[in-house]
Chain A
Amino acid sequence: MAGLEVTIGGMRLRNPVMTASGTFGYGTEYTDFMDLGRIGGIFVKGTTLEPRQGNDYPRMAETPAGMLNAVGLQNKGVDHFVEHIYPVIKEYDTHMIVNVSGSTLEDYVACSERLTGLEKIPAIELNISCPNVKEGGMAFGTSCTSAAQVTRAVRRVYPGTLIVKLSPNVTDIAEIARAVEAEGADSVSLVNTFLGMAIDVESRKPKLSTVTGGLSGPCIKPIALRMVWQVYHAVSIPVIGMGGICNWQDAIEFLLAGATAIQVGTCNFVDPAASVKIVEGIGEYLERHNIASVSELVGAMKIH
């Protein structure tokens, strides 16, 4: 569809709708429900240098208009990804972006290096915001110093498009965004999940094995939207917005707040074809409002 294309770093996306890491597997899980070639890109499951078994069950608790998760980056490691998953997903007709996570600075660097040179992986998303791992993860994303340090180290070894995924569990997300922009990030994506918890009142036990977990879904949308708007005004690199997006209206809101592109996350679990419906909805919106390019909507909220 004309007018839907957007650019993030070195990637020209056919439309601004992508799917969020941890909610879309490797894309493979969704091929029965939708045509992957209809969306702008897929952020695959968080990948670490070494294999991770993830946290104990229970890892999920439903909450009003959303859910808590404590998966803890279960994945088979970057070598497994390169050898077994990449050969399958490189055939998909969309941008495949790997979400990179780690416990140490060295892990992030080694994992990113391993992904360099994979022809069909044009970008990585540096996950400095996972709330569900004991070491690393969100710890890197909650101070400007460590966020800058990990971005700088990865930027040195990774020549592709570098997106840094920000944590909302901070006092001032805009200052973290500025810090990673200064170190050469091509884009920031936000927000990752909010740290939350739930308790079973009968047993008095936490509903998650890890006590706390990451909150996602429509319940976080207003806060995520506010953060995207703040970050849009703080940086000049493109912002990828996410947090509770379930339909095209939600997506347009994020664009108006300043997102160049968006990611659909938790909603994929409820409607596995949600992202395609959002692409269609944005297209119809552009036609109805006589807007030639979706990029005209970015940050176009009218306050007065």
Chain B
Amino acid sequence: MKQLNFTVRSNEQLNAQNHLLKVVPLSNEQLPEIYPGQFVQILVENAPHTFLRRPISVNNVDREMNELWLLVQAVGEGTRKICDTTAGQTINMLLPLGNSFTMPPVAGNFLLVGGGVGTAPLLYMGKKLHEKGFSCDFLLGGASERNILQRSEFERYGRLYCTTEDGTLGERGYVTDHPLLQQEKYDFIFSCGPKPMMVAVARYAREREIRCEVSLENLMACGFGACLCCVEKTTRGNLCTCTEGPVFDTNELRWLD
């Protein structure tokens, strides 16, 4: 873990709420090793009602450009300030934080299921699977076509399937309604998104005895295991989402009890 200043290289608005920030270390030093599922804590400046940093998952690491990609959804004052940053501005971050998705040792049938801004870490995971020569399917859901972000990026690393609640893209409905889930037999599912979606995915995985990992977004203060605020109830007791997670095997969680 490090505390580092970054320069915003670009800030692209992807839809009404979401921005893609590409940042590089201010000192030109190499980015530390970052694994898919890990996150950063961004310092928010000049936001009078915001005190704590904002946890944002790593969307992609571009080693060639020494660039870190962050997909940020403007939800409140803090994330709005982050979305308002412009190219050339400096942001302070703690990174890399948390554990990561498990990299399967051998090829298999892998499914990455995401909803809303929760698709962010799945891009980097898909890229890493692709780099290992493993193929994967992405199943992304959102309210409408405009909520399914970075489609061309996802298509570089695997087959892309979508669901939208209004039917404007892919199948109409939720991700768990997609016929893919009945057709394919998966070995490992990775998921991130709204909790009801992840619970539905966890239930599907349990019924079919598929290994499943989810990335949680519990409210946190520090992000590195000091405050004990972001705990999740697990079979091993209350665990910090920031250090023991954010990625958990769904069999460890108490969601389906």
Q: Which residues of A contact B (CB under 8 A)?
A: 22-25, 29-30, 32-33, 45, 53-54, 56-67, 69, 71, 74, 217-218, 266, 268-273
Complex contact B231–A269 (CB within 8 A) = no
Complex contact A62–B238 (CB within 8 A) = no
How many angstroms from the CA of A160 to the CA of B1 in the assembled complex?
35
Could you list 10 further interchain pairs (A-B, Cβ under 8 angstroms) beyond the known A33-B1, A57-B233?
Answer: A22-B228, A23-B226, A29-B226, A53-B238, A58-B229, A60-B229, A64-B48, A69-B229, A269-B226, A272-B222
Kindly identify, within residues 219 to 254 of chain B, every residue whose CB is under 8 Å from any CB belonging to chain A: 219-233, 237-238
B77 to chain A, nearest CB (A): 10
Partner of B1, one of A32, A61, A71, A268: A32
Kindly identify, within residues 1 to 36 of chain B, every residue whose CB is under 8 Å from any CB belonging to chain A: 1-3
Complex contact B228–A269 (CB within 8 A) = no
Q: Which residues of A contact B53 (CB under 8 A)?
A: 269-270
Complex contact B219–A58 (CB within 8 A) = yes
Complex contact B51–A59 (CB within 8 A) = no
B201 to chain A, nearest CB (A): 20
Identify the interface centre among B221, B223, B233: most chain A CB within 10 Å of its CB.
B221
Complex contact B238–A29 (CB within 8 A) = no
Q: Which residues of A contact B220 (CB under 8 A)?
A: 60
Partner of A218, one of B51, B232, B233: B51
Q: Which residues of A contact B237 (CB under 8 A)?
A: 53
Q: Which residues of A contact B226 (CB under 8 A)?
A: 23-25, 29-30, 268-269
Complex contact B51–A66 (CB within 8 A) = yes
Q: Which residues of B contact A23 (CB under 8 A)?
A: 226-227
Identify the interface centre among B2, B43, B222, B227: most chain A CB within 10 Å of its CB.
B227
Q: Which residues of B contact A (CB under 8 A)?
A: 1-3, 43, 48-53, 94, 218-233, 237-238
How many angstroms from the CA of A64 to the CA of B233 in the assembled complex?
28
How many angstroms from the CA of A71 to the CA of B227 in the assembled complex?
8
Complex contact A62–B231 (CB within 8 A) = no
Q: Which residues of A contact B222 (CB under 8 A)?
A: 29, 268-269, 272
* A–B complex contacts, Cβ < 8 Å, 23 sampled: A22-B228, A23-B226, A23-B227, A24-B226, A29-B224, A33-B1, A33-B2, A33-B3, A33-B94, A54-B228, A54-B231, A57-B218, A57-B233, A58-B218, A59-B228, A64-B48, A64-B49, A69-B227, A218-B51, A266-B221, A269-B53, A270-B53, A272-B222
Complex contact B52–A59 (CB within 8 A) = no
Q: Which residues of B contact A29 (CB under 8 A)?
A: 222, 224-226
List of 4 A-B pairs having minimum Cβ-Cβ separation, nearest first: A60-B229, A269-B222, A32-B1, A25-B226
Complex contact B52–A62 (CB within 8 A) = yes
How many angstroms from the CA of A135 to the CA of B187 in the assembled complex?
48
Identify the interface centre among A32, A67, A269: most chain B CB within 10 Å of its CB.
A269
Complex contact A59–B229 (CB within 8 A) = yes
Complex contact B51–A67 (CB within 8 A) = yes
Q: Which residues of B contact A61 (CB under 8 A)?
A: 219
Partner of B3, one of A58, A64, A273: A273
Chain B residue at minimal CB-CB distance from A51: B237
How many angstroms from the CA of A60 to the CA of B220 in the assembled complex?
7
Complex contact B230–A60 (CB within 8 A) = yes
How many angstroms from the CA of A67 to the CA of B230 in the assembled complex?
13
Identify the interface centre among B48, B52, B226: most chain A CB within 10 Å of its CB.
B226
Chain A residue at minimal CB-CB distance from B53: A270
Complex contact B52–A67 (CB within 8 A) = yes
How many angstroms from the CA of A54 to the CA of B240 in the assembled complex?
12
Complex contact B1–A269 (CB within 8 A) = no
How many angstroms from the CA of A23 to the CA of B94 in the assembled complex?
17
A57 to chain B, nearest CB (A): 6
A21 to chain B, nearest CB (A): 11
Complex contact A270–B51 (CB within 8 A) = yes
Q: Which residues of B contact A273 (CB under 8 A)?
A: 3
Complex contact A74–B238 (CB within 8 A) = yes
Partner of B51, one of A24, A25, A57, A65: A65
B46 to chain A, nearest CB (A): 13
Complex contact A62–B51 (CB within 8 A) = yes
How many angstroms from the CA of A32 to the CA of B49 in the assembled complex?
29
Q: Which residues of B contact A60 (CB under 8 A)?
A: 219-221, 227, 229-230
Chain A residue at minimal CB-CB distance from B2: A32
A276 to chain B, nearest CB (A): 11
Question: Given A25-B225, A32-B2, A57 and B52 touching (CB < 8 A)?
Answer: no
Partner of B238, one of A22, A45, A54, A266: A54
Q: Which residues of A contact B2 (CB under 8 A)?
A: 32-33
Q: Which residues of B contact A69 (CB under 8 A)?
A: 221, 227, 229
